[in-house]
């Protein structure tokens, strides 16, 4: 079954949007198979955003992700990678559609609340980076 990595960034946690964001994934019918709150090390943030390491915003982005706790999650379901990106909305909240998480609550490209994997292969890499095998559940809803 397809899985994706979702992180509620420090701005989402500080603004009290954790419940709202989790609720949107639950309402869509996806299954939560991993969840933890953590303070991110510089090493983890740099590895996670390695693809952006040459960009001018890289240092500020890493500083921000490490500045206060995040909520890291793994969600499972058919087509969850692409569907989660739709729920989240465009990277810049000013361009994100109303009804998406960033469109409804995001402030700026630097304060866009949430990260979601951009492809199935990236999701696998990010899940392995953020979670150990023991931290992930294997279950299916029965009700």
Residue positions forming the annotated binding site for ATP: 9, 57, 85, 91, 102, 112
Does residue 90 touch ligand CMP according to CB under 6 A?
no
- The yes or no reply on residue 24 touching ligand CMP (CB under 6 A) is no
Active-site choice (25, 115, 123, 131): 115
Three-state secondary structure string covering 8-71:
ECHHHHHCCCHHHHHHHHHHHCCEEEEEEEECCCHHHHHHHCHHHCCCCCHHHHHHHHCCCCEE
Cα distance between the two ends of the chain: 19
Q: Does 61 bind ligand CMP (CB under 6 A)?
A: yes
Whole-angstrom Cα distance, residue 103 to residue 88?
8
Closest separation in Å from C-beta 30 to ligand CMP: 18
For residue 52, indicate whether it is catalytic. Answer: no
Under the binding rule (CB under 6 A), the answer on residue 112 touching ligand CMP is: yes
Task: Give whichever of 60 and 137 is closer to ligand CMP, judged by the CB atom.
Answer: 60
Residue with tokens 């019918």: 29
The binding site for ligand CMP (CB under 6 A) comprises 52, 57, 61, 91, 109-110, 112, 115
């Amino acid at each position: 079954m397809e899985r994706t990595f979702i992180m509620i960034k420090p701005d989402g946690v500080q603004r009290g949007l954790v419940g709202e964001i989790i609720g949107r994934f639950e309402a869509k019918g996806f299954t939560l198979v991993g969840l933890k709150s953590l303070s991110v090390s510089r090493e983890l943030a740099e590895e996670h955003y390695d693809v952006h390491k040459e960009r001018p915003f890289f240092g500020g982005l890493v500083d921000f992700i490490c500045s206060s706790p995040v909520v890291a999650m793994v969600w499972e379901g058919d087509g969850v990678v692409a569907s989660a990106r739709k729920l989240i909305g465009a990277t810049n909240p000013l361009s994100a559609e109303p009804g998406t998480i960033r469109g409804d609550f995001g402030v700026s490209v630097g304060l866009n609340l949430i990260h979601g994997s951009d492809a199935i292969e990236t999701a696998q890499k990010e899940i392995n980076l953020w979670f150990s095998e023991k931290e992930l559940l294997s279950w299916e809803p029965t009700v």
